[in-house]
Amino acid sequence: MALEALRLCLDRGRDIQAALDRALTASPAAGPGDAALATELAYGYLRFRGRLDFLLDTLLAAPGRTSSAVRRILGLAAYEILFLQSVPAYASVDWAVGIIRRRLGRTMGNVANAVLRALVRLDGAPLREDYFRERTAGDISFLSVWYSCPPWLVRLWIGAYGREEAEAFLRASLCVPPPGVRVNRLHPLGAELFRRLEPLAAASSAWGMALGNWPDFLDEAVSLGQATRQSFATQRILDSLEPQEWPEPVLDACAGRGGKTFLLREAGKTVWASDVNAFRLRQLRAEGLRLGLFVPAFLSPGQGPYPLRHAPRTVFLDAPCSGLGVLSRRPDIKWKRTGRDCRQLAGLQRKLLDSAAGLLPAGGVLAYVTCTLHPEENERQVERFLRDQPAFHLVCRERTGADSGLGEFFYGAVLRKR
């Protein structure tokens, strides 16, 4: 299942969670334990793929001639051997060698057997920094391999944030982010649920929290509309932009599935939702039914035109972005995204911002949020907007700190039209 999910993700371009859902659905006989292992393997492999590939290069006699399919099987087995103590090493070797022999013959099976047994003999050495520092040339190469991140991204972060903060971002990208929950304050049982969750919180705000673990009883609460799964870092960036001060109505112009739309609605704001994707809007409407809340939603590009009789007083842009701030939750992004993608997304963001500027009346607010760590999409994007749109001034801007402990990083800015 993990192999199929990775094939769909890396070869067919699906998001890793969608790929995993598809692979699990195609295996109805799999039990909860099988699904949990497949999830751990798929996400773990993607988080550590760079380090695993480097190890395989040192152990393979001809790494350049080894197919991507074989490397993926070897990489999954290597992840099990190094990071999953609950799986005996011999079992990892056995299944990987068996698959390769069945698909590619005995010779490749023997190669796989030799490589994985050599890895087992290394014992815990590949878990130590010095093992990789001694085998890489220069700081960028070491950081790229040890933190399993493409070199271009390592250079970008060091240039933008300095080495110390860049390394903190790299370190966070390898960690599993804490599960987040937002309690529906408008639900009759919301306050009671929040009190029940408080002892489990690693961090909390008025109606949201990061949890040490996701308790079983919370699944039912979510299904009944009492709460929503949502990253606490997401909730915190919106809180820092003080949405209670935004004039209404608020147009969420890139609403997607409605995660932030309903956060604003639960906070008492009058919200309209728009998105370019009809499927996401159907999901948004389903989310409203689950929560017992209604938000007018319509299909429209983020830059308009909008089928509105009256102008909004606030435009909220949860802008399409490179996603480099949420690699801990979406580790597939770092193996798909390129510098060219980032430049194209910055161009789209510029159009969205300029369109929103023309939509707002005097005194209107433009709130801009991304889930990336890229100055061209964040600070420089806002600076460019202020130069080109002198009618606006900056009210505030925030960025998740490297020391937040949440493993995800967001940028947000609020601009007001004079």
| 74: CATH | 1.10.940.10
Residues 248 and 216 in one domain: no
The CATH number of whichever domain residue 226 belongs to comes to: 3.30.70
Q: Are 38 and 49 in contact (CB under 8 A)?
A: no
Q: Is residue 324 included in any domain, yes or no?
A: yes
The single residue of 149, 254, 371, 396 carrying the catalytic annotation is 371
pLDDT for position 148: 97
Residues 326 and 383 in one domain: yes
Q: Is residue 226 included in any domain, yes or no?
A: yes
Q: Is residue 133 included in any domain, yes or no?
A: no
Order the strands of the 180-183 sheet from edge to edge.
201-204, 208-211, 180-183, 227-229
Domain boundary among 230, 256, 277: 230
Q: Are 250 and 316 in contact (CB under 8 A)?
A: yes
Residues 361 and 350 in one domain: yes
The range of the structural domain enclosing residue 69 comes to 1-127
Return the C-alpha torsion angle 196, 201, 203, 209, nearest 10. Answer: -50
Q: Is residue 109 included in any domain, yes or no?
A: yes
What's the pTM value of the predicted model, to 2 decimals? 0.93
Residues 296 and 238 in one domain: yes
Residues 33 and 117 in one domain: yes
pLDDT for position 305: 81
pLDDT along the chain (418 residues), means of 10: 93 93 83 88 97 95 88 95 92 94 91 94 92 95 98 97 97 96 97 97 96 96 98 97 97 96 97 96 97 95 81 96 97 95 96 95 97 98 97 97 94 97
DSSP class per residue in 260-283: HHHHHHHTT--EEEEES-HHHHHH
Residues 49 and 168 in one domain: no
Residues 296 and 336 in one domain: yes
Greatest Cα pair distance, the chain, in angstroms, is 73
Cis peptide before 249 (omega within 30 of 0): yes
Binding-site residue set = 275, 318
Q: How many domains does the chain have?
A: 4
Structure tokens at 61: 């006699």
- Alpha-carbon distance 232 to 337, whole Å? 24
Residues 269 and 315 in one domain: yes
Rounded to 10°, the helix 32-59/106-121 angle is 90
Q: Are 184 and 291 in contact (CB under 8 A)?
A: yes
9 catalytic residue (yes or no): no
Residues 319 and 275 in one domain: yes
Q: Are 201 and 211 in contact (CB under 8 A)?
A: yes
Residues 92 and 181 in one domain: no
Q: Is residue 132 included in any domain, yes or no?
A: no
- Among residues 392, 348, 364, the alpha carbon closest in space to that of 251 is found at 364
Binding-site residue set for S-adenosyl-L-methionine = 275, 318
Residues 155 and 212 in one domain: no
Residues 242 and 366 in one domain: yes
